[in-house]
Structure 1
Amino acid sequence: MLRWVFLDMGIRGGVNPAAAGAVDVLVHAGGSSCANIFQYGNVVSGVENFHRFGGTIVGIMKGFLGLSGAILIQVYDTLCEGDPTAYILILAITPTLTSLLLMPLVKIYGTTTVDDKKHLNGFSSSALVVAAYLMVVIILDNVFTLPSWTRIITFMFLLLLLASPFGIAAKAHKDSERPSIETSPLMDDSEPMPTKYGEYHQIPGEPDRFKEVASSSNENLSNDHLEDGIDMNLSRAMLTVNFWLLFVAMICGMGSGLATINNISQIGQSLGYSTIERSSLVALWSIWNFLGRFGAGFLSDIMLHKGWARPLFMVITLATLTFGHLIVASGFPGNLYIGSVMVGICYGSQWSLMPTITSEIFGVRHMGTIFNTIAIASPIGSYIFSVRIIGYIYDKMATGEDNSCYGTLLTLMGDNINGKQYKVVQV
């Protein structure tokens, strides 16, 4: 969001578009790096603190990250409409202050209670309520012209909903301070129970069998530990097939998903969708992205506890993503409504499944380094699909005096160009 506001402000202010674009790339690179640093601490700490429900906690955090775009749009429309400079100032100050104030709370606590699932369900319910509220506000805002006082009221209510997780956290902290097991004086003064066969006395000169057994057991456990891939570092992880399978899967899933959002407005215009319909499709992408991030983490935890492997859920979402691309490419009336929902949900699901699967395969110690390395597949996939494939087709099929194909219904052997590009993407 900051990138586009900054770019628009620079061009309106008379700055050369090429220079504004170069600064935009620099801002985006710096912002992405800072965001990855924040995500690293949050995701790793969350998985460590809620190791039995890693998918759920990652889904909640990634889900709110997916909602951030829709939330920031509400901030701009309510507080800074027509004043991008003030909006940039808010975006520069607020995240910094928030991080400085809350970073002492982000740590590994090393305690697990039976109420973890109950509190996580509370966070999940809060996130779903926020997403539903934003969806209603976005639809109303695109269909009707809301007056300023209505925007202020809806924004204040949104702030209350966003503050609700603090109440859940306070209640969880209060519950954790209650002693769950009361100690008995008999337990404190109890003597060690005698062994069944008496005490073992070592014969002088006999080798210490206990030490040999312990050392051999530790060696076997260590070998099993390494063979299972637990706590691998990045260099060792990159030598495994699992790492590159995840990397290629993310190129296909994330790259094609980004290609969709980059071209959804052009596809809608070529298929005859109105301006309001296209704006709604783009605005609601954050909601579908959230549902994918949150839902994949939550449902994969349920499936995992029932004996289903989490990578199987990734296979299902990637297959559904392919089906969504086919729907977008079909061109039947209303196809973008169905296709954008399916692609958005399946695209978002990769962002919660990938970190959780990474922690389960390679361990938690170097999880941040490994999953951020795998996340490089997202810009690589976006470049391959959006630039090398879709961009090539646009350039090849461009017609008219300005060599532009934006919003035009181009045909190639009876197929719409957007349909053709999506047939390429889904393969």
Structure 2
Amino acid sequence: MVVANVSTGGGGGGGGNMKNFSLHILTGRWFMVFASFLIMSVAGATYMFGLYSSDIKSSLGYDQTTLNLLSFFKDLGGNVGVLSGLINEVTPPWVVLFIGATMNFSGYFMIWLSVTGKVAKPRVWQMCLYICIGANSQSFANTGALVTCVKNFPESRGMVLGLLKGFVGLSGAIITQLYHAFYGDNSKSLILLIGWLPAAVSFIFLRTIRIMKVVRQANEVKIFYNILYISLGLAGFLMLVIILQNRLHFSRIEYGVTAVVVTALLFAPLCIVISEEMNLWKNKNQQDMNNSSHIQVVAENPQPKATINGDSSKPNSCLRNVFNPPNRGEDYSILQALFSMDMVVLFIATTCGVGGTLTAIDNLGQIGKSLGYPTTSTTTFVSLVSIWNYLGRVVAGFGSEIFLTKYKIPRPLIFTFVLLFSCLGHILIAFGVPNSLYVASVIIGFCFGAQWPLMFAIISEIFGLKYYSTLYNFGAVASPVGSYILNVVVAGRIYDREARKQMAAMGLSRAAGEDLTCIGIVCYKMSFIVITAATLFGCLVSLILVVRTRKFYRGDIYKKFREEVAVAEAEMGGSTSTNCVVDTISITSSDTTTTVTTAKQCGLDR
């Protein structure tokens, strides 16, 4: 190899630095992450069903079974995102976000019109359609923002999943504070807020969210930890505010003050983004000055061309390879993953675990009412679930990443322990221990949140990232399946049966359109005993996945991504310290290839 270096002097500066720096920030990787945080922080409206379900029940005269049917379609829409995944495979993320924003506003706006009586009372199937469409927008937001971030930061996927899903978990408490500031105590207006606010945020950042070149920065983990500390501060402030609001009566102005503080904490990560992009900008400018006119000429022997094996020209049948998947960690096809025993086991375990915790969350308002808690406690329960939902997600995301990289403890094992811990919350609800619903809300919120980043990370690690958009959303289908079985079939029917018994004992009969109300421990006791048994079964199933993947998780599961980054940097000229973007011109003769590499545009790859 012959290398010749020629320097011709250089220099140059220009005006418009501030404009260029602003553009640098807005098109940077870290601003894309910040935009994803904001989208996720208002994308959890499905977790707030307990706050406005009573308005739907009373306004439209539904019984508990019908209300739980609506809850099922809410979960169905919120988690069946295969369509959004398939769309994301063939379109840029902004298309997915645009569709989701449109669906979000359309669905919830129609629910608000129905509950407020501004349109004729809809039929049950129409309400199911409205809430399914509105909730399905969440899967589009997740696919557009979360999946894109995971692909942009594959070696930090646990932290990315934990943070982004954590902001989804916090969104219930965040929107609650904004709702009180905007609309006071008008709970029906909450439906309107969750219709327009998430749609507006997604529209603002449509072109910000995009797939970018994977570049591993030395301080990448530190940046995510700094953002984590800010989010913990936000969660702590929300917890303090919830406690004060439960003990004191807040005026509209006081709610406005808390909303301003919450908004400020939401935008605090922008300071980290600007600081980091400032460092990248300075390094890029320094690199431009040092290499403005530097030319490097490299002459090397040609690389041998890969020979084509005659057998490889035979067409491969897609269906024939369905049951012949690659090794774990490689890129599975969609059908290979769906028919994999690992996916079946993970799906069953998630159905049992998420289905049980989601049933408790969706029925918190009714559970509190049946056990005699004051109506003001309902908001407290929902907010507690929201905050501990967040903590479960970030702890599971960051904690599992630490346990995996340092101690080789597999994520499926952590997932199993989370399912086991959730059984404690179910038992507290089943036996109605006095004042235990506060503790149960914390446990169930934490466990519900922790299951999601673990499950999504397991899918990405075992089946690869090539078709992650679709496989991510298929894994989420376990939620509505579990919700329908445990919420509609089990909890809803048992509640209505006990309510009818109580009405019969008092010599009353239910009038047409009258809602059913049950009082006492008996309303949910048998339901949550069944849910506890189902969750324990999910733990046993999850242990099967632990055994099946133990050798895989003992290895270096991120080696593939480090090698890909190393190859990409070598192709760009080997400048790993500055991530240079290099222009190359190749001149090929019969025996040599001459590559002219200009470093004039060398700078930090973002």
Q: Same fold (TM over 0.5)?
A: yes
State how far apart, in whole Å, the 2-side matches of 1:382 and 1:85 are.
Answer: 25
**Contact 1:232–1:362 (Cα < 8 Å) also in 2:** yes
The equivalent residue for 1:418 is 524
State how far apart, in whole Å, the 1-side matches of 2:419 and 2:347 are.
Answer: 13
> 1:406 is matched with which residue: 517, 521, 534?
517
For the aligned residue pairs, the C-alpha RMSD in angstroms reads 3.4
Q: Secondary structure at the match of 1:244?
A: helix
State how far apart, in whole Å, the 2-side matches of 1:182 and 1:354 are.
Answer: 42
> 2:222 is matched with which residue: 110, 118, 121?
118
**Contact 2:494–2:524 (Cα < 8 Å) also in 1:** no
In 2 relative to 1, CA 36–279 (structure 1 residues): closer, same or farther, beyond 3 Å? Answer: closer
The equivalent residue for 2:401 is 301
Aligned length: 402
Q: Matches of residues 19-418 of structure 1 in structure 2 within 5 Å? A: 19=123, 21-81=124-184, 91-109=194-212, 110-179=214-283, 226-228=326-328, 230-306=330-406, 307-398=408-499, 399=501, 400=503, 401-402=508-509, 406-409=517-520, 416-418=522-524
User: Which stretch shifts more, 302-311 or 171-180?
Assistant: 171-180
Q: Secondary structure at the match of 1:298?
A: helix
State how far apart, in whole Å, the 2-side matches of 1:421 and 1:313 are.
Answer: 26
State how far apart, in whole Å, the 2-side matches of 1:273 and 1:45 are.
Answer: 43
In 2 relative to 1, CA 258–276 (structure 1 residues): closer, same or farther, beyond 3 Å? Answer: same
Once the two structures are TM-superposed, the CA of residue 92 in structure 1 deviates from its matched residue by: 4.8
One-letter amino acid of the structure 1 residue matched with residue 435 of structure 2: G
Deviations 1:12-68 (A, max 9, x none): 42655443x544433322223322122112222222222222111111111111111
Q: Secondary structure at the match of 1:329?
A: helix
State how far apart, in whole Å, the 2-side matches of 1:271 and 1:76 are.
Answer: 27
In 2 relative to 1, CA 215–192 (structure 1 residues): closer, same or farther, beyond 3 Å? Answer: farther
State how far apart, in whole Å, the 2-side matches of 1:168 and 1:37 are.
Answer: 27
In 2 relative to 1, CA 324–26 (structure 1 residues): closer, same or farther, beyond 3 Å? Answer: same
| Unaligned 5+ runs, structure 2 | 1-44, 56-108, 313-320, 534-606
Once the two structures are TM-superposed, the CA of residue 358 in structure 1 deviates from its matched residue by: 0.9
Q: Secondary structure at the match of 1:104?
A: coil
State how far apart, in whole Å, the 2-side matches of 1:66 and 1:231 are.
Answer: 30
State how far apart, in whole Å, the 2-side matches of 1:291 and 1:126 are.
Answer: 13
State how far apart, in whole Å, the 1-side matches of 2:228 and 2:509 are.
Answer: 50
One-letter amino acid of the structure 1 residue matched with residue 274 of structure 2: A
One-letter amino acid of the structure 2 residue matched with residue 382 of structure 1: S
In 2 relative to 1, CA 18–134 (structure 1 residues): closer, same or farther, beyond 3 Å? Answer: same
**Contact 1:50–1:116 (Cα < 8 Å) also in 2:** no
Deviations 1:357-400 (A, max 9, x none): 11101111111101201211111111100111112322333321
One-letter amino acid of the structure 1 residue matched with residue 519 of structure 2: T
Once the two structures are TM-superposed, the CA of residue 350 in structure 1 deviates from its matched residue by: 1.5
State how far apart, in whole Å, the 1-side matches of 2:299 and 2:373 are.
Answer: 78
**Contact 2:347–2:475 (Cα < 8 Å) also in 1:** yes
**Contact 2:150–2:157 (Cα < 8 Å) also in 1:** yes
Deviations 1:184-238 (A, max 9, x none): 99x9979999xxxxx9xxxxxxxx9x967x979x9xxxx9992235221221111
**Contact 2:112–2:191 (Cα < 8 Å) also in 1:** no
**Contact 1:113–1:176 (Cα < 8 Å) also in 2:** no
In 2 relative to 1, CA 148–279 (structure 1 residues): closer, same or farther, beyond 3 Å? Answer: closer
State how far apart, in whole Å, the 1-side matches of 2:353 and 2:183 are.
Answer: 35
| Unaligned 5+ runs, structure 1 | 194-198, 200-207, 411-415
Q: Secondary structure at the match of 1:227?
A: coil
The equivalent residue for 2:580 is none
Q: Secondary structure at the match of 1:13?
A: coil
In 2 relative to 1, CA 169–322 (structure 1 residues): closer, same or farther, beyond 3 Å? Answer: same
**Contact 1:288–1:344 (Cα < 8 Å) also in 2:** yes
**Contact 1:9–1:84 (Cα < 8 Å) also in 2:** no
The equivalent residue for 2:16 is none
Once the two structures are TM-superposed, the CA of residue 99 in structure 1 deviates from its matched residue by: 2.4
**Contact 1:57–1:297 (Cα < 8 Å) also in 2:** yes
Once the two structures are TM-superposed, the CA of residue 143 in structure 1 deviates from its matched residue by: 2.1
